[in-house]
Amino acid sequence: MALRVVNQGRSLDEILASDWYRSLTASPRDLAFSRELAYGFCRWYFALAALLAGRLQKPLRDRDRDIEVILMLGLYQLLSMKVDAHAAVNETVQLAREQGKNWASGLINAVLRGVIRDGVSLDENAASGTYPGWMQARFERDWGKRAEQVMRQGNRRPPMTLRVDTRRVDIDAMIARLAAAGIEGSKHSKVNCAIELSNPCEVSALPGFSEGLLSVQDAAAQLAALLLPCAAGARVLDACAAPGGKAMHLLQRHEALDLDVLDSSEPRLERLRQNLRRIGAGARVLVGDAAAPENWFDGNPYDAILADVPCSASGVLRRHPDIRLLRRESDIMPLLEMQRQIIDSLWRLLKPGGSMLYCTCSVFRDENEIQIEGFLERHADCREISLGGACWGEAASVGRQILTGSDNMDGFYYALLKRAAAV
């Protein structure tokens, strides 16, 4: 998997959902090991690369990038996963041979056995040097002395957090049901429909998952449905909706919503449809670009809009560590422009007196409060609804920011905006 991320630029989510991965015949234990290896490799890629560079007499050629990746996988097994040294070295050599590069066996043995001999360690409390330089610079620009802590939290393994359909089952009863199945969980400290598991498990092991009583969703993401005002029977749009976690929560939380769910990706919408079927709920599924409503909007304005816009995903790096390899600094300006176009376009679809909730899974200020400051300047009929009474996150100049790891949540930003009522 790591080779596919580095050499093909594919995300781990995409790989895990691929026919190739589903066709693998390895045991569940081996598949879990491979996932841990791939995620850990991405999480510590830059630290491992620096360590390896110091161990090579000269850089490897571009055509031998696969050997560089294989060496780093071996280092991660030794230094973080604590795999038996003999097994780690042998498996790493075997992986190189499978690439048709038997010549690399001596190099791999020399590097890995040298690391073992010298007692080298990987500082898993480190932050600097574990991100690409441009990303680290943005953390430092936006968060100053707090940047180190934000980055350190981005290196932690995330919890597995569940959302409970509290209209159908009491959360204490669900915790007890999980315990009876040997799964330990506790109420989240800030989000009253969330259970945080002590240890992750396969979703197939979760009692009530197939019936829609439970869904996997970080507590910070669960706040969206709690913040968007929706009266019974309201006409609501969830823009950029796939894979559907927030849409599902809206339907479970509010009575008889007239919900449209929109996304530009048909494959992602198919996953959304599957999720809606699992919870036994329905919505109109629309394929289209949120920034170009003329191609999908039926002319009937919305009472409420959830604008969960594309972003850098800098707040979910602990959950998606491959982002630090796949995202480029050159991606940021186009993302900012896309966000601006989406929210300006969606605003025209909102009824007077209606509400729009803007959110990102980012901790970069220009995607969050600075983006919304500009929106408020462009739209005289918009006012911010304060989230100052919230018990989570911290106030920004506009809206509210959750930093990665705060109350063990992902990094998220929310701003609630209201359109002036017609005179």
Token reading at 50: 């620096």
Residue pair 46/127 in contact (Cβ under 8 Å)? The answer is no
Enter the tokens of residue 55.
Answer: 């161990």
Residue 358 backbone phi and psi in degrees, to 5: -95, 135
Length of the chain: 423
In DSSP notation, 380-403 reads TTEEEEP-TT-SSSEE-SSSEEE-
Give catalytic status of residue 361 as yes or no: yes
Burial (0-12, 13-18, 19+ Cβ within 10 Å), 98: exposed
Sequence-distant (6+) residues with CB within 8 A of 194 are 161, 162, 163, 164, 187, 188, 217, 219, 222
Q: What are phi and psi of 176, to 5 degrees?
A: -65, -40
> Distance (Å, rounded) from C-alpha 262 to C-alpha 370?
25
Which long-range contacts does 126-131 make (Cβ < 8 Å, 24+ apart)?
Answer: 126/47, 126/152, 126/155, 127/151, 127/152, 127/155, 129/46, 129/47, 129/50, 130/43, 130/44, 130/46, 130/47, 130/155, 131/46, 131/324
Kindly report the number of other CB atoms within 10 A of residue 30's CB atom: 11
Cα dihedral 339/225/350/296 (nearest 10): 70
Task: Kindly report the backbone phi and psi dihedral angles of residue 233, in degrees, each rounded to the nearest multiple of 5, phi listed first.
Answer: 80, 5
Q: Count the alpha carbons within 13 Å of 242 in the hemisphere toward its beta carbon.
A: 19
Residue 410 CA to residue 214 CA, distance in Å, equals 19
How far is it, in rounded angstroms, from Cα 294 to Cα 392? Answer: 37
β-strand 350-360 against 302-308: which pairing, if any?
Answer: parallel
Judge contact between 221 and 412, C-beta under 8 A.
yes
Bridge-based pairing state of the strands 235-239 and 258-263 = parallel
Let me know: does 383 contact 397? Beta carbons within 8 Å: no
Among candidate residues 230, 240, 359, 361, the one labeled active-site is 361
Residues annotated as catalytic are 361
